[in-house]
Chains A and B, each alone.
Chain A
Amino acid sequence: MSFDLAFAASTVPPILSVIGTTIGVALLSCAGASVLGFSFEILRRAGAAPGYALRFVIDFIRSTPVLAWLYFLYFVLPHYGVILPALMVGVLGLSIYFSGYLAEVFKAGIDAIPKGQSEAARALGLNRIDTVFFILAPQMLRNVAAPVGNYFVSILKATPYLAVIAVPEMLGSAFDIASDTYRYAESLTVVGVVFLLLALTIAQAVKLIERKLLQPTSR
């Protein structure tokens, strides 16, 4: 058996037909991981006790593989009567896993803002909420843009893990073709190339946005 180029080409349309699922899962997971990670980081700053607890939670998440999280959620949630579609379980798993990393990114982004910024804002008479919204948040966003962009690419590259919990994304559909035809090499190679192109494109886009829009102003 050799590598059949014509057959490989025939697997492109069915694999590309589910690219929307892959991108949708990635976008939802990005949003989920950002919200969860940011909440972790804000709560971690709330006081000593929640701080230590959340630091442990974040360390726990960072010390465990994403595959184990997907199995955990997929098999444990139904045991407690929580029946979610596999796709939502996958989004939840990726969100939890990457929230641990994004929390650290937000931590670094907030820590990097000089203390004088909030002191100056308060001295000017801005209240706490205005200080956060108009002074601190814009600076934090600029600080975290680059690493968050990198993690978004990582999330995209983690979406094929969802194949193990039967989400019909690109790797899953490649496996469907493979098991129907007994030709694994072609469809898997195609899905590999598609993912590589997608990841490279998005990584370049992130770099471009970083360069064009988020140039730090001179301090």
Chain B
Amino acid sequence: MTIVEIFLGIFEGFRVTATVTAFALLFAVPFALIFGVAQYLTKGAVRLIVTSIIEFWRSSAVIILLFVFYYALPVVGIQLPAITVSAIVLGLNTGGYGSQAVRAGLQSLDKGQLEAGMALGLSRRRVLYLIELPQALVRMAPTFINQFIQLVKGTALVSLVTLTDMTFRAKEIAELEYNPVGIYTSLLLAYFVVCYPITVFGRWVELRIGTGRELTSEL
């Protein structure tokens, strides 16, 4: 196999990489919004529960969560396909990070925004929808793009639970022929080709918004 054939062979796994990413977003975005807002609005015991749930998904090592859910759920009688388990674990982990961005974004708004909204006679909920969330989400856009990249890269893990993504394809090709340099260089390049345009887009958004904040996320 030439290096081009190897690269294209690895890219056959892109469909799975993209599918897992898309399904994971279905869990990540609602989780980030609901739990971020909940952590911002609640107090006392409720906030403690909300924080605990976020911290569980955020502070666990995602590779271990993936294995635990993949191997432990069948024991308690829940059989889920690998792709669903992957989407849930990667999605909620990303959502945990996202929720902190949402909360921080809401907290960073000037207090006058809330006060002005209330003074205009809007309900608390309408202030949130019409005034606070739109501003916070714009402010957080660069962070979300960074987290999206982290998610795409995180999908490399699904190769460990038998899904034929790009990483899995690389290992399959490695079994067929001995060319570690070509195969694993191609694997790095394949992810670079997918993620770099998003990185560039993120930088552009950051410049447009002008309030880029360093992401403290992982993998």
**Interface on A for B, CB 8 Å cutoff?**
1-3, 59-60, 62-69, 71-72, 75-76, 78-79, 104-105, 108, 147, 150-151, 153-154, 157-161, 163-164, 171, 178, 184-185, 188-189, 191-192, 195-196, 199-200, 203
Given contacts A67-B167, A188-B71, contact A195 B195 (CB under 8 A): no
**Other-chain contact of B55, A64, A151, A200 (Cβ < 8 Å):** A200
A110 to B209, CA, bound (A): 22
Give 16 pairs: A residue, B residue, CB < 8 Å, sorted on A: A59-B196, A62-B149, A63-B192, A63-B194, A65-B191, A65-B219, A68-B156, A68-B184, A68-B191, A72-B184, A76-B181, A78-B180, A157-B62, A188-B72, A199-B60, A199-B61
For the complex, count residues of B whose C-beta is within 8 A of A.
45
**How far does the Cβ of A141 sit from chain B's closest Cβ, in whole Å?**
16
A104 to B202, CA, bound (A): 14
Contacts of B72 in A (CB 8 A): 3, 184-185, 188-189
Contact residues, B26-66 vs A (CB, 8 A): 55-56, 59-65
**Other-chain contact of A64, B160, B195, B218 (Cβ < 8 Å):** B195
Contacts of A153 in B (CB 8 A): 59
Given contacts A63-B199, A158-B219, A189-B72, contact A72 B187 (CB under 8 A): yes
Contacts of B149 in A (CB 8 A): 62-63
The reply to whether B191 and A64 contact each other, CB–CB distance below 8 Å, is: yes
The reply to whether B167 and A178 contact each other, CB–CB distance below 8 Å, is: no
Given contacts A63-B191, A65-B156, A104-B214, contact A195 B181 (CB under 8 A): no
The reply to whether B154 and A188 contact each other, CB–CB distance below 8 Å, is: no
Given contacts A157-B61, A199-B60, contact A1 B75 (CB under 8 A): yes
Contacts of A66 in B (CB 8 A): 153, 156, 219
**Other-chain contact of A2, B75, B181, B191 (Cβ < 8 Å):** B75
Contacts of B153 in A (CB 8 A): 63-66
Smallest Cβ-Cβ distance to B75: which chain A residue:
A185
Given contacts A72-B184, A154-B217, A189-B72, contact A67 B59 (CB under 8 A): no
The reply to whether A185 and B71 contact each other, CB–CB distance below 8 Å, is: yes
Contacts of B156 in A (CB 8 A): 65-68
Contacts of B191 in A (CB 8 A): 63-65, 68
Closest 8 CB pairs of A and B: A184-B71, A63-B195, A154-B218, A185-B72, A75-B180, A65-B153, A150-B216, A65-B156
A71 to B63, CA, bound (A): 16
The reply to whether B60 and A147 contact each other, CB–CB distance below 8 Å, is: no
Given contacts A65-B154, A67-B156, A68-B187, contact A79 B71 (CB under 8 A): no
A191 to B192, CA, bound (A): 32
The reply to whether A76 and B219 contact each other, CB–CB distance below 8 Å, is: no
A104 to B212, CA, bound (A): 12
Given contacts A64-B192, A157-B61, contact A192 B68 (CB under 8 A): yes
Contacts of A160 in B (CB 8 A): 61, 63-64
**Other-chain contact of A71, B170, B192, B216 (Cβ < 8 Å):** B170
Tell me if B188 is interfacial: C-beta within 8 Å of chain A: yes
Contacts of A79 in B (CB 8 A): 180-181
The reply to whether A65 and B196 contact each other, CB–CB distance below 8 Å, is: no
A192 to B76, CA, bound (A): 17
Given A2-B75, A159-B61, 10 more A-B residue pairs with CB atoms under 8 Å apart are A60-B192, A63-B196, A65-B153, A69-B188, A71-B184, A75-B174, A79-B181, A171-B64, A185-B72, A200-B55
The reply to whether B64 and A164 contact each other, CB–CB distance below 8 Å, is: no
Tell me if B23 is interfacial: C-beta within 8 Å of chain A: no
